[in-house]
Structures are given as C-alpha cells and as structure tokens.
Amino acid sequence: MLNKSHCAAFAASALLACGTPDYSVAPVQPNGGTARAYGLWTPSVRETCTKAQHDKYSTVGPDGKLYPTWHPPTEPETGCTFGHEHGRDPRGSDLYRTVGPIPLGYANDRLEIWDAANPRNEDHFGHKFEWENDVEMNAGSSLANRFFDIRCDILVKFHQGTHSKDAFTNNLHELVYHIRCNDGTELHTTFMAAVGTPGEFEASCDRRRIRVGPATPANSPNGGGVRIIPDVECVKRHMMVTGTRESNFNSALHESWETSNSIRTEDGHTLAHFNPYFQVDAPSRYFDPNAPNITGRPVDMCYATGPNGERATGGLCQVSTNNGATAGVTWDDPRSKFNGVARFVDINSNIIDNAKGPAVWYTDPFGQNAATKPFPGSIKQFIAPIAGVLNPEGPGLGGRRNYGGIGVRAPN
Amino acid sequence: MTIPRRLFPARVVVVLLLLGAAAPARAQRGDRSQSAPASAPSPVRASTAVAPRHFWGAFSLGNATASLACSVCRDVSDRSVAAGLTLGVRQTPRTYLAIQLDGWYRFSRGENDRVYSIGPLVQYYPVAKRPLFVRLGLGWASYLATDEDEHLSSRSVAAQIGAGYDFIISRSYLLTPFASYMRGGGGRLSLNGEQASIPAGVEMLQYGLQITLR
C-alpha cells in the first residue's frame, strides 16, 4: 500500500536499488517539491473519496519531486470511490521489483525544463498500466520460432485519454516502457511519445485523414505511427442501424493508437525501436465538428433516432441505457459503459542495436539526442548493450481483463 | 521426427555396459575357430609386450537425437540418421587414438538440419581381455538449420563420451554396437548471417553399429 510518507518512498527506492546488477533504481532524496502532475484530481459529487485519500498514492520521482502513481479504482481500506482507474496493478509485475513505483507525468515535467516555452500537460485520468510476466514472444521467423523460446516480462504505462478532444490534435503522450527477455533484450524507457501527426488523426472506420487544428504544444514533433479515432461518420455508419440489425460498436468506436518509438543518439543512430499499439474498445467520445467542443458522446446516440429511423441498439446501448429506455444516462454517468475501460496493448516488435553500449543513456524528453551524460531536462534510459538478432515480437496483453470498478466512469 | 529428450539412449548405454561386464566370454568364443586379429584384445595379447603401432579405421551408421542447446532454446530434439568415420592408430593394446568425423542429417517439410563434428578421441579398454571400451573426445561441432528463407548456425567446442563393445567377425574386422553423447557450448550462434549474443552448442545422443578395420 503506497502512502504519502516521503520516508516510505525513499526507503522503497533504496530497497529497489538492490535490483538487477545492470539496471536499478537509485535511491532519490525527496526535495520537497511536487510535480505539475501531482494533485490534479479533485472529486466530483459522484466520487466518495477525498482528495487527500487520492493524493496519498504518490512516489518520489528521479528528480526528487512528488508524483502521482498507480492506485486502484476504490480505496481498499474504506471502499470509497475515485471514479477512474489506471489499469492493472503494477505491483504484480516481476519488473516492479526492479523499476519500482512509476511516477506519472515525469516526462511531461522534464519537457517543461527542456523547453519551458512549450509544455505539454496531460490530465490525471489517462495514465493506464498494463503488464504481463513470462510472455511468450515471436522470435521473428518460423525457423527462429522452431528453435527459440523467447520469454519476456513486460510493463507499460501510456497516457491514453479517451474522454476528451485532446487526442484529436495532440500527439504527445507520456510512455513508460519496460521489457526484459531471456534472450538479453532489455529496455527501461520513459519519454513523450509522438504518436502520428500533430493536429490530425485517422478515422477509425475507414482511415480517412481528418485535419482538426493546431496541436499543443505548437512545436509538437511528427511521430511515426498514427492515432486512429472514431468520428461522427463512423458512428452514423456502424452504430445507427435500421430494422433488426444490431449496432457494430467495435467498427463504430474502436480506437487504436499505433506508436512507433525510436531511441536515437545525437548522430541519428537508432539504439532501440519498439512499436506497441494501444487499443480501446469503448471510448466515451468521438470527433464531431458540429458538437460542443467538437466532442460527440457515444452514449447520447443510444437515445437518438436518425432521419430514416436509424437507432443504436444492442451491445453497449443495451447495457448502458436499455436501448434508450433508461433515461438520463449521460456520458459521465457510471451506468454508461462507454468509459474507456476495455483496453489492450499489442506489444509488437522490440529491436535493439546497442552492441557497443553503454547501457545507460540520457535523452531529451522525446527519446532523441541520446548522450552518455545528463543535461537539463534529460531523461535516463536503459538499453541493453546488445545487438539483437531475434528481435522478439509480443502479442496483445490485457484483452481479457476488465479494469472497471465500482463508480468508474468517464472521464477515465 | 521431433521428440522430447527421453531416457532411451541412456538405457542403451547401461545395457551395453552390463553386457560387457557379464559376458566377455561370448565375444571371445567366436574367435576360437580363427586366429584373433592382431589388434583384438585377448588374454594372450594382454600379457605380451606392447605390440607395434597399427593403423585402424572405422565406419559407423546409426541413429541420433540432436538439438541446439542454449539458454533460450526449446527443449526438443530430433531423431534421424547419423554416420561417422574414424581413423587412428593403436597406441597400446588397450589404448587407441583417432580423429573422428561425425555427421547427422534430418530433412522434413522443407526444413534441413545437420550436425557435423570433428575432433580427436581416445578409445580405451579399461579391463584387459574385455572387448568393452570407453571413448572420450574433444573437438568442434556445428549445428546447421535451413528452411526456404533462412539459415541458422552454431559452432562450438564439444566434448564426447561413449562406450562400445567389440565383436570379432573376422581376422581384421570388428562389429561394434556403440553409444555416445556429445555436448558443446559457449559457441557462436548466428541467424541469417547475424551473430546473436546467445552462446550455444550442439547436443547429440547417438547409437549404432560400427565396422572397424584393424
């Protein structure tokens, strides 16, 4: 059970510093400061926990500041509700002993030091954890798979907010990626992942490119990968149906944030490349240029009737509103199952090209310009000193888990 | 055929050892009708002075289960045909030195696996007048695997231990059932020409028949 005590956080960091010989979390002396991400959450009338109960889930980051960290959707001691969840409890991960509590928003804070004029602040809700131990990986070819049994421990934290308009334009999202495999592949990285092109996304149902507007910050770099998000056309086409058909909520609403991440040196050499895809089945929003805040709410479509009598029926509308019969279920009502809880991560490939080492690098907040010494705003990264040949590819994680709990609702 | 590693080859070795310890006379009985080959161990031969050096050679054919051994390798082995060629000299009536070349080959559904090994060995008859011998060797072993698109290889130092039992079939020829175990490690592993940072070696359990010319 994590608590707010600085002494406890310091002791935990010291204990975890004993981890593996090659990677360990060095003990950090708290400096009394708090990160920008700390204390962002305030309970609404629907939540029964206090702010103090929530904020005690904290940890000291590598910079000595206090950061929020993972917490359950309800407080175990009292059962009070926080109204949101952060995915799988990371303390069950075999990597947790090595990496310790993960500070949420650390890369965002480092960006503010590295480029104070162009900060990127993310909300508290969107931080999501997923992990799995001893994952059987694909060794990359039928020949390699015949001979090799590659197993990895994987722990990831990604900021993926699916309740607001943020991701329609903003492509910078904090990613914490830990992986350790029995073939020597090992990465411990934290950075602001640039997912796709700033200012635009692709519609989930047909991959139309939708240009929305300027991103925040304005100088957001273009990333590999893409953000695939539903828009009103997808909702009308697949959710609003006639006759006896049932809505296809997956085709209408499924989001896929397909990242392509490279850790590169100052001279452009790629030390590591990995590309997890983060999927959400039932977000609480879609892009609608005509809606308030350009944000449409799927649950509202459960009550709507199209010009030709189209209705949204079955599935999530059945569960959330009894196909519209239960009035008054709003997008932020716990009864609405359009809440971003159903998620999974496709791990995909992991490539390391760092044979000459060292294992420890310092990069800018985007994972670029890796150097062997720290600099203002830099983030410490660990990349195993190998040149990977097997390049393990991972499966999807979390598809069978439901992280919803009592009181969990959008925004989540 | 891909099979999990079992105890069967170990039983073969145990049986050979028991045969050698319990019934040396049976092998000798077949010799009485003909003069024993100059290099066959015999009560008379063992009590004489060291014989002059003789060259000897052998060809073996049999079965072997082979696998690639490494920290991330799957625990499966494949059984297929194996053959070997041995050339050497007799150092003493009970000690034979040789260079041995061994090979194993498996082909299945477009997958082509081979093992090659070469190295010196010592063949020693621990008990005079007994045709049972033990064999120790140290050399190089390679595992090669290819399919339609890719190739994998491993090369390492490998040690061998084995045993056999000579049956005299003529003045110059012996028929020898044998079994041997080879294990390599710490060698280079490469996939499609790129070297992996995983040390590997070959593991092979072999049994068969050897024709020896002395």
Q: Could you list the pLDDT tens digit for every one of the 412 residues in chain A?
A: 434 444 334 433 333 333 333 577 766 788 879 999 999 999 999 999 999 999 999 999 999 999 999 999 999 999 999 999 999 999 999 999 999 999 999 999 999 999 999 999 999 999 999 999 999 999 988 899 999 999 999 999 999 999 999 999 999 999 999 999 999 999 999 999 999 999 999 999 999 999 999 999 999 999 999 999 999 999 999 999 998 888 999 999 999 999 999 999 999 999 999 999 999 999 999 999 999 999 999 999 999 999 999 999 999 999 999 999 999 999 999 999 999 999 999 999 999 999 998 999 999 999 999 999 999 999 999 999 999 889 999 999 999 898 998 999 999 9
Residues of chain B with C-beta less than 8 angstroms from the C-beta of A22 = none
Give the minimum alpha-carbon distance from B74 to chain A in angstroms, rounded to a whole number: 5
Chain B residues in contact with A150 by the CB 8 A cut-off are: 72
- Distance from the Cα of A386 to chain B's closest Cα (Å) equals 7
| Interchain contact, A146 vs B74, CB within 8 Å | yes
The 3-state DSSP class for residue A62 equals: coil
Q: What tokens appear for B172 in the block? A: 């110059």
Phi, psi dihedrals of residue A400, rounded to the nearest 5° = -100, 5
**Cis previous bond, B52, omega within 30:** no
pTM as predicted: 0.85
Q: How far is A399 from chain B (nearest CA, A)?
A: 27
Identity of the residue in B71, B149, B196 whose CB atom sits nearest the CB atom of A389: B196
A327 and B CB contact within 8 Å: no
Do B74 and A144 count as a contact with CB atoms less than 8 A apart?
A: no
Q: How many CB pairs under 8 A join A and B?
A: 58
Domains of chain B: 2-172+187-213 (2.40.160.20)
Q: Is B144 on the interface with A (CB under 8 A)?
A: no
- Prediction ipTM score: 0.75
Distance from CA of A149 to the nearest CA of B (A): 5
Contact (CB<8Å) B73/A148: yes
Amino acid occupying residue A379: I
Tell me if A184 and B150 make a contact (CB, 8 A cut-off).
no
Phi, psi of B201 (to 5 degrees): -160, 180
B-chain residues within 8 Å CB-CB of A388?
197
pLDDT attached to residue A22: 59
Q: Is B59 helix (H, G, I), strand (E, B) or coil?
A: strand
pLDDT at A30: 83
Q: How far apart are CA A230 and CA A252, in angstroms?
A: 7
Touching check for A134 and chain B: CB below 8 Å?
no
Instruction: Report, in angstroms and rounded to the nearest whole number, the Rg of chain B calculated over CA atoms.
Output: 19
Q: Distance of CA A73 to CAs A83, A320, A354, A405, B46, Å?
A: 6, 20, 40, 6, 85
Distance (Å) from the C-alpha of residue A182 to the closest C-alpha of chain B?
A: 7
The three-class DSSP label of residue B153 is: strand
Q: Which two tokens stand for residue A192?
A: 């602001």
Find how far residue A1's CA is from the centre of its chain.
22
B111 touches chain A (CB under 8 A): yes
Contact A147 B74 (CB under 8 A): yes
Which pLDDT score, from 0 to 100, does residue A18 have? 36
H helices present in chain B, as ranges: 8-22, 24-29, 43-46
Structure tokens at A353: 């090209």
Interface test with A, best of B146, B151, B197 (most A CBs within 10 A): B197
Q: In A, residues 349-368, which contact B (CB 8 Å cutoff)?
A: 355
Judged by phi (left if over 0) then psi (alpha if -120 to 50, else beta), residue A357 lies in: left
Nearest-neighbour CA in chain B from A177: distance (Å): 22
Q: What is the pLDDT of residue A126?
A: 97
Which of A137, A147, A183, A353 has the highest number of chain B CBs within 10 A, making it the mutation to test binding with B?
A147
pLDDT of amino acid A31: 83
Question: pLDDT tens, position by position, for chain B (214 residues)?
Answer: 333 344 344 454 444 444 444 443 333 333 333 333 344 444 333 333 444 458 999 999 999 999 999 999 998 888 999 999 999 999 998 999 999 999 999 998 888 999 999 999 999 999 988 899 999 999 999 999 999 889 999 999 999 999 999 999 998 899 999 999 999 999 989 999 998 888 999 999 999 999 999 8
> Do residues B202 and B188 make contact, with C-beta atoms less than 8 angstroms apart?
no
Q: Where are the domains positioned within chain A?
A: 6-397
Does B71 contact A182 at a Cβ distance shorter than 8 Å?
A: yes
Interchain CB contact of A148 with B (< 8 Å): yes
Q: Is A141 on the interface with B (CB under 8 A)?
A: yes
Closest Cβ–Cβ partner in B68, B149, B197 for A386: B197
